[in-house]
Amino acid sequence: MTDTTKQDRVLIFDTTLRDGEQSPGATMTHAEKLEIAGLLDEMGVDIIEAGFPIASEGDFKAVSEIAMNSKNSVICGLARASFADIDRCMEAVKHAAQPRIHTFIGTSPLHRAIPNLNMDEMAERIHETVTHARNLCDNVQWSPMDATRTEEDYLCRVVEIAIKAGATTINIPDTVGYTAPRESAALIRMLLNRVPGADEVIFSTHCHNDLGMATANSLAAVDAGARQVECTINGLGERAGNTALEEVVMALKVRNDIMPYRTDIDTTKIMNISRRVATVSGFAVQFNKAVVGKNAFAHESGIHQDGMLKNAETFEIMRPQDVGLAGTSLPLGKHSGRAALRAKMGDLGFDLADNQLKDVFVRFKELADRKKEVYDDDLVALMRAGDDPENDRIQVKRLRVVCGTEGPQTAELTLMIDGAEASTEATGDGPVDAAFNAVKALFPHGARLQLYQVHAVTEGTDAQATVSVRMEEDGRIVTGQSADTDTVVASVRAYVHALNRLLVRREKSAPGEDRREVSYTDPS
């Protein structure tokens, strides 16, 4: 067995809460950001980019509280190349035991044209802002946004300026997912060879997945000398997403023979945090997603199943247990007790307090009465639908739908709205549309439905349906989720869940908060 303690260490920089959360519709609540940050900290992530403090009061508060609660990770905030951004960032991260300021500016010809700066003016801006950041914090990261489309000579020049100004980490972003592995490696090697002082700082890689090569580009950069990888859980991020943390970490673990680098990530926590990020973001993990997809360890082919029974290594290059999956998926039933449920939930990565267990057990029994067997994925779905409805202003009390080949379809719905019961009947193009129309009739609103998505949790006609609903109102984007063996019931509950989250945003959001109003270009 390889002794990984003597290998080069690769730092894992997680930006799920910043770059990942920028994905349209993936906005998280304050409590959810704190929860995910805690899971990342426990998992062994070296640096957590907790947010963009100047973007909104909500982002500032989240970064500040994450910084206060961090136990092991460096807590980083993002700032554009302006004194105001950098000051606000430091104000937020100063509470961390290990704070970091991450400042950036777009250096490619396309990005230089936006603030209308020539090469010399931009170089001066970089010198001034990185110097300012270093005067505030000993740990400063600098990024030339769109580095992979920046002229090599100019990239070398500005990287040298940033190093001399005090940057301790130089991040090389492939902002639009344009590069390829060979280019990614060559760029890192070129900078290490040409830039004075490059051997005294850490080089980082930040890749987007527009051409499906983010993980490959990141690993190529590591092979060339980068010692920090910027990534997100499930590859969450704008457009096609970012480098997936789980893919990089498991690639380095499984193929340590050809990539002799180590991370300090506890890989057994991967599946739990993957599921939680999928839940709070509303972005379901595709079934065939590497490492964390539902089918990542599934084998249906007869040849594959035969091989697996004889020797698991014939068709599995890593064990399910390595990423936190139980080795088997034994179902529970209506006769299963609290102890069995708690043990199973523990195997799935959910450490339930007594009051949580009581709530989940009630919903488990209700589900078990409707399903012969309750599988692992059913239990995960129960947790996804585990938001406390007692504190919601809108609650679903009763629903009855009439559907069939002859329309229009009808929904009879009763809601509790601010403690008062209200009922109506509505029609629509199908039972879900009719039910949603009934909700609108009882609680009028101007939110626009952006996404309606249904996934079967398990196989069979009695499978639970997990429904995700994304809604937008005045720039605020919220996601609601629910699960039930009745798809229409799950749909209405998810719709109402989204509405409740929207009401919270209305009441608590400061002007501009969570609306992505801050530009990533020149702030001046």
Q: What is the largest CA-CA distance in the chain?
A: 75
Q: Which residue has the tokens 């490619």?
A: 108
CB neighbour class for 98 (10 Å; exposed up to 12, middle 13-18, buried from 19)? middle
Residue 374's φ and ψ, nearest 5 degrees, are -110, 115
Listed as ranges, residues in the chain with pLDDT below 70 are 1-6, 24, 298-316, 326-331, 372, 384-390, 508-524
Residues pairing with 140 in the sheet: 101
Measure the CA–CA gap between 261 and 198, rounded to whole angstroms.
20
pLDDT on residue 518: 58
pLDDT on residue 406: 83
User: Concatenated DSSP letters for 357-396?
Assistant: HHHHHHHHHHHHHH-S-B-HHHHHHHHHT---GGG-SEEE
Measure the CA–CA gap between 60 and 520, rounded to whole angstroms.
16
pLDDT on residue 133: 98
Measure the CA–CA gap between 501 and 522, rounded to whole angstroms.
32
Residue 438's φ and ψ, nearest 5 degrees, are -65, -40
pLDDT on residue 298: 64
19 annotated binding-site participant: yes
Q: Which residues have a Cβ under 8 Å from the Cβ of 123 and sit 6 or more positions away?
A: 157, 158, 161
| Identity of the residue numbered 420 | A
Pair 5, 456: CB distance under 8 Å: no
Measure the CA–CA gap between 77 and 62, rounded to whole angstroms.
10
The strand order across the sheet containing 409-417 reads: 394-402, 409-417, 420-428
Pair 130, 103: CB distance under 8 Å: yes
Select from 22, 27, 20, 18 the least CA-distant residue to 502: 27
Measure the CA–CA gap between 173 and 168, rounded to whole angstroms.
16
User: Concatenated DSSP letters for 425-453?
Assistant: EEEESSHHHHHHHHHHHHS----EEEEEE
Q: Which domains does the chain have, with CATH numbers?
A: 9-281 (3.20.20.70), 295-325 (no CATH), 330-384 (no CATH), 389-508 (3.30.160.270)
pLDDT on residue 312: 52
Q: Among positive and negative, which fits the CA dihedral 501, 502, 507, 513?
A: positive
Measure the CA–CA gap between 165 and 200, rounded to whole angstroms.
13
CB neighbour class for 496 (10 Å; exposed up to 12, middle 13-18, buried from 19)? buried
pLDDT on residue 508: 62
- State the DSSP code for 485: S
pLDDT on residue 303: 39
Pair 292, 234: CB distance under 8 Å: yes
pLDDT on residue 5: 60
| Helix, strand and coil in the chain, % to nearest 5 | 45, 20, 35
206 annotated binding-site participant: yes
Q: Among positive and negative, which fits the CA dihedral 300, 305, 307, 312?
A: positive
Token readout for 419 is 């403690």
CB neighbour class for 235 (10 Å; exposed up to 12, middle 13-18, buried from 19)? buried
102 annotated binding-site participant: no
Select from 84, 17, 87 the least CA-distant residue to 47: 17
Token readout for 478 is 């919220």
242 annotated binding-site participant: yes
Secondary element (H or E) of residue 140: strand 140-145
